[in-house]
Amino acid sequence: MSKPSSGNPTARLEAFSDGVFSIAITVLVFNILVPRNLPPDKPLITALLELWPSYLGYLLGFFLIGIMWMNHHNLFKLVGRSTHMLMVFNGLLLLTIALVPFTSALLAEYLPTAQAQTATLVFNGWGFFVALFYNLLWQYMSHKRRVIHPDVDQKIVDAISSTYRFGPVFYLIAMGATLFGTFWGIAVNIGLAIFFALPLNAKLFEGD
Amino acid sequence: MSKPSSGNPTARLEAFSDGVFSIAITVLVFNILVPRNLPPDKPLITALLELWPSYLGYLLGFFLIGIMWMNHHNLFKLVGRSTHMLMVFNGLLLLTIALVPFTSALLAEYLPTAQAQTATLVFNGWGFFVALFYNLLWQYMSHKRRVIHPDVDQKIVDAISSTYRFGPVFYLIAMGATLFGTFWGIAVNIGLAIFFALPLNAKLFEGD
Amino acid sequence: MSKPSSGNPTARLEAFSDGVFSIAITVLVFNILVPRNLPPDKPLITALLELWPSYLGYLLGFFLIGIMWMNHHNLFKLVGRSTHMLMVFNGLLLLTIALVPFTSALLAEYLPTAQAQTATLVFNGWGFFVALFYNLLWQYMSHKRRVIHPDVDQKIVDAISSTYRFGPVFYLIAMGATLFGTFWGIAVNIGLAIFFALPLNAKLFEGD
Amino acid sequence: MSKPSSGNPTARLEAFSDGVFSIAITVLVFNILVPRNLPPDKPLITALLELWPSYLGYLLGFFLIGIMWMNHHNLFKLVGRSTHMLMVFNGLLLLTIALVPFTSALLAEYLPTAQAQTATLVFNGWGFFVALFYNLLWQYMSHKRRVIHPDVDQKIVDAISSTYRFGPVFYLIAMGATLFGTFWGIAVNIGLAIFFALPLNAKLFEGD
């Protein structure tokens, strides 16, 4: 009924999502503020080192959004058609992604204060929500193979389903670790980033 | 006369539009400001809860731009060629879209004040303008099927024409509701978002 | 020597350029600042009306970048291959485009002041530079048909060459008009935007 | 195992990267602040001229990101498939790119101060890191032709390997030059930009 589309049926959905992901990840840099009004005897390098909470907030935000983009990229490789509800569930996920620069800024601002634990809880808690909306999206995609391309092996779909169940659990663990102290909340977070970056996770998606 | 283009004749028009939509929707987060200079006895969590007007402004802005992107996506699936005036009318629409982060910031700033009603009127009024420019764009596209792909069924075109007539009306209703109180103006707005997200609206566009 | 690329040889160059254009045009909204700390008896609507210089700066910036995007879009339809120097000249053009949000903010800030004329001169003068770098890019593209696709009629190339010569002239006129007063500088600018939007300009590029 | 993808296997990876590059390069303009609260007798043009460190910071940031985008564009023309680790190494590169607006702002802020040398060292030092992560990415790509397209000549791969080795060296030289004075650090930087823009560098990549 529409014009004969050649190629990828979710091209624009992916382009729009890539836009949101890349903007959210790039604007994280705005949370690192150039030190101003330094006292004359304070070396710039000291002032830059004191910005470590901002660098950490940048790194954790970058890891979170980056991991989510990789997952998004991998999931959409399996999609064979675009539907209204796919756009809606994808939109809800982007809504959570676009808020990460805020939780990351919050973390950077409050890490060196007495309220560091609250800020870390919020950051990790938001990561939990992001993972939850991922599962919602995948649930919609995979249920009865609603939008899955016919050529995709059902084994792949099942493998992702069983792996994705752990996503929110990981971030719940990060939240739980935060209750033992800010340090642990951040350590688990970094651990998650390293874990996701490892080649182990490649097998599931690359499929070669 | 130009190089033989394979594929989508409006690829770049869509890419540029996707850029504007995704940036406008992602920068909404800048309207949520990290609380600073908290008094020492004030818990961060309280300060975060007090930001509810910012979260609401973010949500409403996200819904408005998100709905408009879905409509844009659906309309351009029907386009078979690119013209100068298509770029002009599309540009005028983007001009209204790119201003939404401002009306959304205005809403967030004035919701907890005595001037909440004015801010809500402006936000909904601007939504009305956006819907109006959508109609202008669609009018241009559909009149004598100017840029509609030959393979698109005229029934689809007519169905969209009769549906789109309601777009500005919906936002007029949201403006009218605001006159009864800020709460109603926002409630209608959220209602619109839920309405557009429902699978009901899928039938028109998916066409399978 | 590289992998066999199917489709558009300048796809990424266009994607990167579309990114810069769409970001530059969307961040113009940041120059419109939500009024804060209103005196209690001042209606919000009055404060919003007083923002007219910001709206005007937004409009003129949007028109300038929008026109330039349309030209960019039209030129690259003629390109048949990508070269190192094409990327360099295109990069120089983007360098001037990405500065427009600054000249637009300057205009908005100084329009209601005694230095409005200087700000308008700078805005129009920068438009002149943008047009100049366009000509540089086109010069590179068209000279001996360096990167022009073989299927493009030489008449099209010649027609663009003779039309583009006027681009910088138009902005010189806008600069000259500013010397007679800020009003005239802005009027010519708006006139240019309307002129470029008119269907007259469609013939050259659409080629149907 | 996934849906049969027609065309470019790294399309989304490139789209996401183009997003980050184009955003990082466009937001550099935010480091140029419109002069406010001018004393009544100070001409705007004087205030604008005094912004030269901001213009210089903008230019150097633009050159650095622009060169890196050109390299990225050229490398990915050789890629024949997408892997998990390609996404990870590319992500690490983007992490360094997205920080350039910060080092560029730092440069602009401290150029007219006594701590100009430190700021220049940081800017050039960060350029060194960016170049290093480029080499890491290329190392991954080229080792045993991991993701190189079969049709790409090994001579091209070897030529790039021997050229890229110099990237970090160039920025080490820029850092070293800074030790002789801020002026030299910036001069080498501009020299690098001109060198990379020269048609000399075209031969390697264009391959026609």
Q: Do A70 and D81 touch (CB under 8 A)?
A: no
Pairwise CB contact (< 8 Å): C207 & B23: no
- Going by pLDDT thresholds of 50, 70 and 90, the confidence category of residue C7 is low
User: How many residues are present in chain A?
Assistant: 208
At B9 the pLDDT is: 80
User: Helices D84-97 and A52-76, interaxial angle, to 10°?
Assistant: 140
Closest B-chain CA to A114: B40
Q: Is C82 left (phi over 0), alpha (psi -120 to 50) or beta?
A: beta
DSSP class per residue in C85-152: HHHHHHHHHHHHHTTHHHHHHHHHHHTTSTTHHHHHHHHHHHHHHHHHHHHHHHHHHHGGGSSB-TTS
How far does Cα C162 stand from its chain's mean position? 19
Alpha helices (H) in D111-152, listed in sequence order? 116-142
At residue D164, the pLDDT reads: 78
Residue B167 pLDDT greater than 90, yes or no? no
pLDDT at A5: 52
Confidence of residue A24 (pLDDT cuts 50, 70, 90): very high
Ramachandran sector of residue A153 (left: φ over 0; alpha: ψ -120 to 50; beta: rest): beta
Question: Which of residues B7 and C31 earns the better pLDDT score?
Answer: C31
What is the structure's pLDDT at D204?
Answer: 55
pLDDT category at A3 given cuts 50, 70, 90 is low
Closest CB to C22 among B2, B23, B27: B23
Mean pLDDT of D64-88: 91
Least CB-CB distance to D44: which of C6, C20, C110? Answer: C110
d(CA A134, CA A126): 12
Give whole-number Cα distances, D143 to D81, D148, D157, in Å.
Answer: 14, 9, 10
CA distance B101 to B98: 7
Q: Grade residue C57 by pLDDT with cuts at 50, 70 and 90.
A: very high
∠ CA C80-C86-C89, nearest 5°, is 145
CB-closest option in A27, A45, A152 to D3? A152
Six-digit token string for D52: 């030269």
**A/D interface, count of CB pairs below 8 Å:** 108
CA-based nearest residue to A156, from A200, A197, A205, A199? A205
| pLDDT-above-70 percentage for chain C | 92
Asked which of B150-159, D24-33, D44-53, D199-208 is least confident by mean pLDDT, the reply is D199-208
Q: What integer is the mean pLDDT of C28-37?
A: 94
Chain B: nearest CA to A83, how far in angstroms? 6
Q: How does pLDDT run across B42-90, given as a tens digit for each residue? A: 999 999 999 999 999 999 999 999 999 998 998 898 998 888 899 999 9
Taking chain D, what is the end-to-end CA distance rounded to the nearest angstrom? 36
Q: Given this model, what pLDDT does residue A7 score?
A: 64
Chain C residue with minimum CA distance to D203? C84
ipTM, 2 decimals?
0.90
pLDDT at C97 over 60: yes
Confidence category of residue C34, pLDDT binned at 50, 70, 90? very high
pLDDT at site C200: 65
CB contact (8 A) between residue C16 and residue D15 = no
Q: Do A106 and B202 touch (CB under 8 A)?
A: no
Residue D153 CA to residue D72 CA, distance in Å, equals 18
Q: Which residues of D touch A76 (CB under 8 A)?
A: 12
Judging contacts by C-beta atoms under 8 Å, the chain B residues touching residue A102 are 29, 32, 34
pLDDT class of D205 with cuts at 50, 70, 90: low
Please indicate whether, in this complex, the C-beta atoms of D22 and C27 are within 8 angstroms of each other: no
Asked if pLDDT for residue D121 goes beyond 80, the answer is yes
**Measured between CA atoms, how close is D146 to chain C, in angstroms?**
14
Specify the residue for token string 């002789």. D180
Which residues in chain D are contacts of A23 at CB distance < 8 A?
A: 19, 23
Question: Tokens 């390697």 belong to which residue?
Answer: D204
Residues in chain B within 8 Å Cβ distance of C19: 19
pLDDT (0 to 100) of residue A16: 94
Q: Tell me how close the Cα of C199 comes to any Cα of chain D, in angstroms.
A: 31
Higher-pLDDT residue of C208 and A80 is A80
Residues of chain B found within 8 Å of residue C22, distances taken between Cβ atoms: 16-20, 23
Q: Find the length of chain B.
A: 208
Region D155-176: what's the mean pLDDT? 87
Q: Report the residue of chain A nearest B154, measured CA to CA.
A: A1
When scoring D12, D28, D33, D34 by the number of chain C Cβ atoms within 10 A, the one with the most, hence best to mutate, is D34
Contact B151 A3 (CB under 8 A): yes
Q: Is the model's pLDDT at B31 over the cut of 60?
A: yes
Count of Cβ atoms closer than 10 Å to residue C78 Cβ:
24
Question: What average pLDDT does the segment A144-163 reach?
Answer: 88
Identify the residue with better confidence: A160 or D108: D108
Average pLDDT for A36-60: 94
Looking at residues B180-206, what average pLDDT do you find?
81
pLDDT > 90: percent of chain B? 65
- DSSP conformation class of A145: G
Nearest CA-CA distance, residue A120 and chain D, Å = 21
> What is the pLDDT confidence band of residue C11, given thresholds at 50, 70 and 90?
confident
* CA distances (Å), origin A84, targets A88, B199, B205, C94: 6, 7, 8, 36
CB A85 within 8 A of CB A135: no
Rounded to a whole number of angstroms, the distance from the CA of C61 to the nearest CA of chain D is 14
Q: What is residue C168's predicted lDDT score, i.e. its pLDDT? A: 87
Which ranges of B8-51 would DSSP assign to H, the alpha helix? 11-26, 44-49
Q: Are A118 and B21 an interchain contact pair (Cβ–Cβ within 8 Å)?
A: no
Whether residue B14 and residue A13 make contact (CB cut-off 8 A), yes or no, is no
B18, A13: Cβ pair inside 8 Å?
no
Indicate whether B91 pLDDT > 90. Answer: yes
- For A94-117, the pLDDT digits (tens) are 999 999 999 999 999 999 999 999
Quick one: what percent of chain A has pLDDT higher than 70? 92
Q: How far is B153 from chain A (nearest CA, A)?
A: 6
pLDDT above 90 coverage of chain C, percent: 64
Report pLDDT for C208: 39
Identify all chain A residues contacting D110, using CB atoms and an 8 Å cutoff.
Answer: 44
> How far apart (Å, rounded) are the C-alpha atoms in residues B134 and B157?
15
Q: What angle do CA D172, A22, C77 make, to 5 degrees?
A: 95
**Residues of chain A contacting residue D98, judged by C-beta atoms under 8 Å apart:** 25-26, 28-29, 62
Beta carbons of A172 and A140 less than 8 angstroms apart: no
The mean per-residue pLDDT over the stretch C163-172 comes to 85
pLDDT at residue number B202? 58
| Residue A206 banded pLDDT, cuts 50, 70, 90 | low
Q: Which three-class secondary structure state does DSSP give residue D148? A: strand
pLDDT at D207: 44
Mean pLDDT of all residues belonging to chain B: 89
Q: Do D153 and C15 touch (CB under 8 A)?
A: no
Our separate counts of H helices and E strands in chain B read: 10, 0
What is the model's pLDDT at position C205? 52
Q: How far is C200 from chain D (nearest CA, A)?
A: 32
**Higher per-residue confidence, A7 vs B158:** B158
Q: In angstroms, rounded to a whole number, what is the distance separating the alpha carbons of residues C163 and C144?
A: 18
Residue C116 has pLDDT above 60, yes or no: yes
The Cα of D97 is separated from the nearest Cα of chain A by a number of Å equal to 9
Q: How far apart are CA A70 and CA A21, in angstroms?
A: 10
In this predicted structure, what is the pLDDT of residue D201? 61
State the pLDDT at residue D203.
Answer: 59
